[in-house]
Chain A
Amino acid sequence: MERSLNHTGKLKNLSEEISLRWLDQVRVSLDPQKDLCRIECEASVLTDVCSWFFSKLGYSFASLVVEEDSAEWHLRYIFYGDMENRQIHILYQIPKMEVKVPSISQFVHAADWHEREAEDLFGLVFEDHPRLGDFVLHEEWPEGVNPMRADFDSLKPYVHREVNPEWLPVRILQARGAFMMPIGPIYSDFAESAHFLLETVGEDVIRTIPRLFYKYRGVEKIAEGRTVDQVLLLAERFSGTSAFAHSLAFCQAVEEISGVEVPARSLVLRRLLAELERLRHHVCAIAGICGSTALAVPTSQAGILEEEILRLSCTLTGHRYLFGLNLPGGLSMDFRDETIKNLSATIQDLVKKLDELKEMLRFSSSFLDRLEEVGTISRESAVSYGMVGPIARASGIARDLRKVLPYAGYEAADFTVPIEQDGDGYARLRVLFAEVVQSARIIRQVALSLPPGPVISRLPTLTSGSALGWVEAPRGAAFQWVRLGEDGRVVRYRLTPPSFTNWHGFHLAAEDFAFQDFPIIMATFGLSNAESDR
């Protein structure tokens, strides 16, 4: 009680300070329960307010949510941080006829891709943004087609214009022997579709220009008008390797809208399953990093552990990738306490094996040579690009949503957030290994303190409302904005997955390197295109 009073006081301080700074140009409202501060502001101060939170107060940029009603555009800039006030929503409205919006990305670089995306999909023009144009939609889409607008029919297949299949990359660097090396969209073993232009003068690559969204499935758009049950399937399956995390974020948003109380047992089990998924993802990423350096035995060793976790997941839940478990209000199935104890014991063994692998890798000099000082991201760049997850933590940013904005009862979990300062490929590998240990620790705690009771609460009939859901997905902070209409169907679904956030900064790591390091940089980033392209 004392804490919350104290807290309300601090929120008030913030609101007074904002009101003083921008007098009549902002309207501040507080929601102490959610630790949330809403600021409605005018065009003249939008960039000032955003950059004040980002640069002066050190908040992270979470997402830009664009919504449309019959009369107005509603823009919502969401920031979060481990300060006294965890969530800041900056709201800005313009009449429907207007499409010009002040660009904040010159001060909040993390918002760069969000603005480009909104320009491409909604047709909003962000003034003074240096790089607007084709981004999500490739050249087969004519200019002026904005699929996210309410009047665009998402179910009808769109007839595209013909594109020239004999496409050649444009050469930017004009020097003797300089050329553009295209990679993708189809390349190497089982790599995901993405395209990279490596600008090179022979062996050295000067810079990398990624081109994504080959896998754009328009998930945000096709979710509109569907029921919560149907959108849950999209939340789960748009990125199959972090299905549990994203479906959890969606369920949490729906639970907040409906006000349903999630049973204690299912909160604890959700932590267990989320950590199981993180564990599997990290082991797979470790296998990928070993594979990229062509070190066969540890690749196989990590591959064995990955398949063991997949089999454990399937034996426990019926599905190898934890599909079909999260429901708004809880979980679709319960487990016996004994089963969870056994799972925890198996996981502890598995982590021991992983630790042996780490110790062996630590003394394999040929392996370290290929990871150290490769794909380095400085702390400053990581902050400016708003990077998240293990990549940010390898560059010295300890922001983890499980600590900053605890959900699913993570405030009760005892764990640490490992960080490294070097920001190179090896630092990212060390963070992955350290996080696996923490996940196993959380799983052990869950197994020891599983409360009895039901795993699902009945959901009341859904009506209109909106809420933000978030999780620390295996690849980093993920946000989902959900708005339901009066009939309980989804009106707006905004996904900000960690891969989208981190691909934005990928080019920083892929500058001035030798060709053979490209797969290694890719592997230490471990990003998913399915997750980013949506």
Chain B
Amino acid sequence: MSKWVLKGLQTGIKTTSYPDREETASGVSPGLPGGRKEAGNEAHLVISRCPTHALTQAGQQLEVNYRRCIHCFRCLRGVQSAGDWKSGYEWAASMATNDGADHQLGKAFGRSLHIRFVDGGACGACMSELEQINKPFYNMHRLGFFITPTPREADVLLVAGPVTDHMRLPLRKAFEAMPTPKRVLAIGACALSGGIFGPSFASGSGVSELIPVDIGVPGCPPPPLAILHGLLLTVSRKPSASLTFPGSIAGREKS
């Protein structure tokens, strides 16, 4: 078995230095549409190409609803005057609610956060990106984040997918089994808005329909660094996204 130890040592450290330093490697994020200051004459053309109605015109600006954007690149490719495209990955944001409650768990959980994941009908890409945060390049253990097999030991619930009708009951049971204080992160466009699947006869329009969501991570899928940002935001180690979320990214009020 010593050959494996040697192999591991030879490989060296691959892990990103985020959050201490920005990750600058190429290909860590697909980016997001940035909207535009000057909407211009072609604005309605760009807007009409958006299949999920994530783009709207507000005065002179082109606004993006990040709950709905699914990275189809249709506002970018094949148009004369493409919308802006922003790189970066710090996309997680607190869901705006009326009660003004603090959505972060706070410093006490800073380096010991236990995570339970529930698949509410995700396509597999979100889950693949979630798996990456457990793999060498992102390695969430170094940040004090751990996966726990049972919701009874979990502080944070990660949910991906539009929440299919068949997963409503398991999701609610998992949430109810968690001890307080607890937080819910909605991962990806489907979990935030139902994406291209919901609402329909078989799936809903996102997690907030069933359980209160504290933090949203947009993207289709959100890259691993965006998910890490969401977890860091949960424990107040990183500020909320600088993206604006027109109409707020929160779906409904807390129930």
Assess whether B71 is in contact with A323, with CB atoms less than 8 Å apart.
yes
Assess whether B124 is in contact with A324, with CB atoms less than 8 Å apart.
no
Interface of B is mostly: loop
Task: Tell me whether A185 and B124 are in contact in the complex, defined as CB-CB below 8 angstroms, given that A155-B200, A190-B130 are known contacts.
Answer: no
Residue of B nearest to A141 (CB): B165
Q: Is A238 an interface residue (CB 8 A)?
A: yes
Assess whether A237 is in contact with B123, with CB atoms less than 8 Å apart.
yes
In the complex, number of A-B residue pairs with CB atoms less than 8 Å apart? 216
Expressed in whole angstroms, the Cα–Cα distance for A5 and B165 within the complex equals 54
Task: Tell me whether A218 and B201 are in contact in the complex, defined as CB-CB below 8 angstroms, given that A138-B166, A165-B169, A531-B124 are known contacts.
Answer: yes
B178 to chain A, nearest CB (A): 12
Give the contact stretch, choosing among B36-44, B105-113, B134-142.
B134-142
Q: Is B59 an interface residue (CB 8 A)?
A: no
Expressed in whole angstroms, the Cα–Cα distance for A300 and B14 within the complex equals 10
Assess whether A320 is in contact with B70, with CB atoms less than 8 Å apart.
no
| 0 or 1 for each of B41-73: is its CB under 8 Å from A? (1 = yes) | 000000000010000000000000000001111
Assess whether B121 is in contact with A215, with CB atoms less than 8 Å apart.
yes
Residues of chain B contacted by A348 (CB below 8 angstroms)? none
From A153, A155, A241, contact of B125 by CB (8 A): A241
Task: Tell me whether A217 and B121 are in contact in the complex, defined as CB-CB below 8 angstroms, given that A234-B196, A300-B135 are known contacts.
Answer: yes
Residues of chain A contacted by B14 (CB below 8 angstroms)? 304
Assess whether B197 is in contact with A217, with CB atoms less than 8 Å apart.
yes
Residues of chain B contacted by A229 (CB below 8 angstroms)? 51
Assess whether B78 is in contact with A360, with CB atoms less than 8 Å apart.
no
Assess whether A147 is in contact with B27, with CB atoms less than 8 Å apart.
no
Expressed in whole angstroms, the Cα–Cα distance for A191 and B131 within the complex equals 9
B117 to chain A, nearest CB (A): 5
Assess whether A301 is in contact with B26, with CB atoms less than 8 Å apart.
no
Assess whether B4 is in contact with A298, with CB atoms less than 8 Å apart.
yes
Residue of B nearest to A298 (CB): B4
Residues of chain B contacted by A217 (CB below 8 angstroms)? 121, 162, 164, 197-198, 200, 202-203
Q: Is B161 an interface residue (CB 8 A)?
A: yes
Residues of chain A contacted by B127 (CB below 8 angstroms)? 190, 192
Expressed in whole angstroms, the Cα–Cα distance for A48 and B8 within the complex equals 59
Q: Is A157 an interface residue (CB 8 A)?
A: yes
A350 to chain B, nearest CB (A): 14
Interface positions, chain B 116-155, Cβ under 8 Å from A, are 116-132, 134-137, 147, 149, 151
Expressed in whole angstroms, the Cα–Cα distance for A191 and B127 within the complex equals 8
Residues of chain B contacted by A185 (CB below 8 angstroms)? 167, 170
B108 to chain A, nearest CB (A): 25
Residues of chain B contacted by A364 (CB below 8 angstroms)? 1, 4
Give the contact stretch, choosing among A19-27, A201-209, A311-319.
A311-319
Expressed in whole angstroms, the Cα–Cα distance for A106 and B64 within the complex equals 54
Q: Is A295 an interface residue (CB 8 A)?
A: yes
Q: Is A221 an interface residue (CB 8 A)?
A: yes
Task: Tell me whether A238 and B30 are in contact in the complex, defined as CB-CB below 8 angstroms, given that A157-B199, A160-B165, A190-B117 are known contacts.
Answer: no
Assess whether B27 is in contact with A315, with CB atoms less than 8 Å apart.
yes
Task: Tell me whether A318 and B118 are in contact in the complex, defined as CB-CB below 8 angstroms, given that A185-B170, A215-B167 are known contacts.
Answer: no
A411 to chain B, nearest CB (A): 30
A19 to chain B, nearest CB (A): 44
Expressed in whole angstroms, the Cα–Cα distance for A147 and B147 within the complex equals 37
Q: Is A163 an interface residue (CB 8 A)?
A: yes
- Pick the most buried of A152, A157, A529: most chain B CB atoms within 10 A of its CB: A157
Assess whether B136 is in contact with A304, with CB atoms less than 8 Å apart.
yes
- Pick the most buried of B7, B125, B166: most chain A CB atoms within 10 A of its CB: B166
Given contacts A214-B121, A306-B135, A360-B3, 12 further A-B contacts (CB under 8 A): A154-B201, A214-B167, A214-B170, A215-B164, A233-B70, A233-B196, A234-B196, A296-B4, A297-B5, A304-B14, A311-B27, A324-B71
A contacts, CB < 8 Å to B: 138, 140, 147, 152-158, 160, 163, 165, 185-193, 213-219, 221-222, 229-230, 233-234, 237-243, 284, 287, 295-298, 300-301, 303-304, 306-307, 310-315, 318-321, 323-324, 332-333, 360, 364, 366, 528-531, 533
Q: Nearest 5 CB-CB pairs, A to B?
A: A240-B125, A311-B27, A303-B135, A218-B202, A314-B27
